[in-house]
Amino acid sequence: MTRDSAATSVNTVLAELFAAAAHGCRDRSPLTQRLLNDAAEDLRLGGVTARIMAGSERDREGSVPGLRFAGAVHRLVLEGRAPELAKHYPSVGGQPHLPTLWEDALPALKAHADLLRYRIGATVVQTNEPGRSAPLYGGLMVAAQEAAKAANRHVPFCVRLLEVGASGGLNLRPHHVGYRLDDGTVLGDPDSLLVLDAEWTGRPPADLGHRLRVVGRAGCDLNPVDVSTEDGRLHLSSFVWADQLGRWNRLRDALDLAATDPVKVDRSAGPEWLAKQLARVERDVLTVVWHSVVWQYVSPADRAMGRAVLADAAAKATPTTPLALLVFEPRRADDTYRFELLLKLWPAGISLNLGYGEGHGTPFTWNVTPWE
């Protein structure tokens, strides 16, 4: 095989990954779908996209090179480096016109090919969905009250929240977010900079009149994003599809809220970090280990170690130092996936499936069944 034909064949493989990523955006982001389909075609023809993706051609499918490309291009737009393209991007006030998208993208792709290549090679797809605070809030209300009932207390426990895979930590302040219900009531903090439309069907099985008291929170991530920096904020923003304005506005509000209430996310793999956090026991506080949309990315070794760390802490939990595991993760249901909220409590021995919702946390249906 000649050098040229080898290059053509790797670009063809990459083009297929771009096309698959485009397919994943269908019905949700016509802008990203079109950009990726046009870029796939450009890859097949050996155009500027091939130059930009040089060095990333053999990346594995799970690293989603297409979404890294789309994120890097969005970032150029957010930075004001792609004026022709910006007019298609609702995140900066534009309006997509798909037939001319690619010709308007080309000047920026050509002018910033080296920067794009560097960024695409140096980054992983990184999102942090503040909408997941809504199921988290409801789940914490249930956990704090069920743990209290099991310990014969009248007042719900205060909570220490430990998040594994926290990304930028945007879900580490669930008590400072407002949750608007369909009857107009706002749970949590109605004056918050971030008020989510919870879009709940049903209600959490808890007295929602109580206040959620969070007395400690900490998070870790293999690739934490520091949202106190412009770079961190741009990084997270670039991976929100630019024509999903609801998500875009939600992220912007969550970043504003984070600026008023900073929480550092530690750089660490989950199990080691959790072992250290759980070694410290606080009396009269419910410790809650939380993760959302993380499990699929965790290596088998880390999964096994994480389970062992949690089992060890669960065995030591007492009615005055209870422990909870609360997760919002995709689970296979028939031939599709749905995102379920699961709760385990120790030493109460409670294990509940609290309901299911969209991957971004809203809408959500509360429907309590045993967690087998």
Which residue, 297 or 337, is less far from ligand SAM as judged by CB?
A: 297
Which residue, 16 or 302, is less far from ligand SAM as judged by CB?
A: 302
One residue of 293, 341, 343, 350 binding ligand SAM per CB under 6 A: 293
128 binds ligand SAM (CB under 6 A): yes
By rule CB under 6 A, what string of x and - marks binding of each residue 297-326 to ligand SAM?
A: xx---x------------------------
251 binds ligand SAM (CB under 6 A): no
Which residue, 48 or 293, is less far from ligand SAM as judged by CB?
A: 293
221 binds ligand SAM (CB under 6 A): yes
DSSP-derived pairing of the beta strands 186-188 and 178-180 = antiparallel
**Nearest residue to ligand SAM, scored by beta-carbon proximity:** 165
Piece of the chain touching ligand SAM by CB under 6 A; list 61-69, 175-183, 216-224, 318-326: 216-224
292 binds ligand SAM (CB under 6 A): yes
Q: What is the nearest approach in angstroms of ligand SAM to the Cβ of residue 152?
A: 34
One residue of 29, 49, 91, 126 binding ligand SAM per CB under 6 A: 126
151 binds ligand SAM (CB under 6 A): no
Of residues 121, 56, 81, 28, the one with CA closest to residue 358: 28
One residue of 165, 232, 322, 357 binding ligand SAM per CB under 6 A: 165
Q: What is the nearest approach in angstroms of ligand SAM to the Cβ of residue 174?
A: 12
One residue of 92, 98, 208, 222 binding ligand SAM per CB under 6 A: 222
275 binds ligand SAM (CB under 6 A): no
Which residue, 167 or 192, is less far from ligand SAM as judged by CB?
A: 167
Which residue, 9 or 223, is less far from ligand SAM as judged by CB?
A: 223
Residues in touch with ligand SAM (CB under 6 A): 126-129, 132, 164-167, 220-223, 269-270, 292-294, 297-298, 302
